[in-house]
Amino acid sequence: KLYNTKGNIINISPQLAPNSPHSCYKLEVVAADCNSELLGILHFSTRELLGNRKIKILCCCRQWEDAEIMVLLQVMYTDLDFISTFNIELDVLQQFLYEVYRRYNNIPFHNFKHCFCVTQMMYGLIWLTDLRSEMDSIDLLIMLTSAVCHDLDHTGYNNAYQINARTELALRYNDISPLENHHCAVAFEILEKTESNIFRNLSTEQFKRIREGIIKCILATDMTRHTEILNKFKAILPVFDFSDKDHRDVLMMIMIKVSDISNEARPMDVAEPWLDCLLQEFFNQSDMEKLEGLPVTPFMDRDKVTKPSSQTGFIRFVLFPLFTELANLFPCLEKALDYYTEMEKALEREKQNWTQSEKMVKPSNLKEPEAHPEPGGMTKPVNL
Ligand SMILES: Nc1nc2c(ncn2[C@@H]2O[C@@H]3COP(=O)(O)O[C@H]3[C@H]2O)c(=O)[nH]1
Ligand SMILES: [Zn+2]
């Protein structure tokens, strides 16, 4: 149930059918109580409301209260039939989501709203690719729950920092994906408690399979494994077989990776504030690295990175190739791919404009910013 700011209940019936790469689902408002306040909260446009009354929830979750986000996450579990299929009690699901919410930190980027965005993208992709006809409910439950839990208790400092600063996490996990191991361990800590264990009515065998799947998915979000996982996917693509567990496992890893880095697939007015948050977190880290005399992560250095330099390389070398491969498996994603292609062209134009204006204002002895996150945190010159 959703409430408007006056405390009135708004009945919303979920409707499936994502219809673009950046709208995950539509909701139909069935209550008469749609006043302008509600429109404000939900970001509805009046035209959409007065039209066929099918409302597209925009991907911007910044206006949403955390409690509303928890309701939306709950709707996703209901909508994918997990509640009935796995006999999940609503209060347990709510408790689970609340614990998840509590274990995300109040940091610029890797916070609860990021968790929601990634989960929303996963949910949207599941419908968009009609994955329900190819994979069983357990796999889908693994994918959605992994998205929900994938950055639990992120501190805002990446693995390179953890390792260089010899943090407790790096020590505990011997420098092997310290953060992702931690996110996953926190997830299972939450699931250890009966009152928040959404899998408590499953058999031991089912739980085992889910645990294995979630661990695989969350560990796959470590970007130092990007090339390894992408190459695995490319290798099996020509013979991809949904009945082969190994193939499904790789696809699940690709799906969570795509969801994790898909902010740029959202409308510009949504994507850009997210980039600001990411850069803020990056800059905080590099400031700390400088302060502590640790190696400074180049793509996080406020003296080297600009918004365009950060995004052009990331989209071209990381996001685009990943999405292209996924679209090879799901031709229905081609439309979305066109969207990225257009974005690439726009970026190229933007970069040219930017370089020209830089030339006009920049003294010639200043070097071009060259840093951007590469898989594994390496940097590569942007060659446009
Ligand atoms: N430059 C850039 N990096 C991103 C973007 N989205 C995600 N990333 C990076 O990809 C990483 C995925 O894993 P993390 O969440 O640990 O940290 C994320 C960022 O470092 C983006 O839009 N731009
Ligand atoms: Zn993430």
Distance 159 CA to ligand 1 centre (A): 13
Residues 380 and 227: their CA atoms lie apart, in Å, by 14
Single pTM value for the model: 0.78
Do residues 51 and 68 touch, judged by C-beta distance below 8 A? Answer: no
The answer to whether position 185 is within a domain reads yes
The answer to whether position 58 is within a domain reads no
Would the annotation count 154 as a binding residue? no
Q: Is 310 in the pocket of ligand 1 (CB under 6 A)?
A: yes
The answer to whether position 302 is within a domain reads yes
Q: What is the pLDDT of residues 356-379, one digit of tens each?
A: 766 665 444 333 333 333 333 322
ipTM of this complex: 0.98
The answer to whether position 328 is within a domain reads yes
CATH number of the domain bearing residue 259: 1.10.1300.10
Task: Give the closest residue to 214 by CA, choosing from 92, 329, 72, 100.
Answer: 100
Sign of the Cα torsion 18, 247, 229, 208 reads positive
Q: Please name the helix (run of DSSP H) or strand (run of DSSP E) that holds residue 279, with its range, or none.
A: helix 268-292
**28-32, 235-239, 262-266: segment of lowest average pLDDT:** 28-32
Q: Which domain holds residue 87?
A: 65-344
Ligand nearest to the CA of 262: 1
DSSP annotation of 54 reads E
Residues 48 and 51: their CA atoms lie apart, in Å, by 5
Sign of the Cα torsion 118, 122, 125, 127 reads negative
The answer to whether position 17 is within a domain reads no
Distance 372 CA to ligand 1 centre (A): 10
- Active-site entry in 22, 43, 110, 372: 110
Q: What is the pLDDT of residues 105-137, one digit of tens each?
A: 999 999 999 999 999 999 989 988 999 999 999
The answer to whether position 25 is within a domain reads no
The answer to whether position 12 is within a domain reads no
Q: Report the chain's mean pLDDT, rounded to a whole number.
A: 80
Number of domains the chain is built from? 1
Strands, E, within 8-95: which ranges?
9-10, 12-15, 26-29, 54-56
Tokens encoding 354: 């930017």
Confidence bin at 49 (pLDDT 50/70/90): very low
Task: Give the closest residue to 68 by CA, choosing from 151, 9, 155, 130.
Answer: 9
The answer to whether position 20 is within a domain reads no
Residue 140 is predicted with a pLDDT of 98
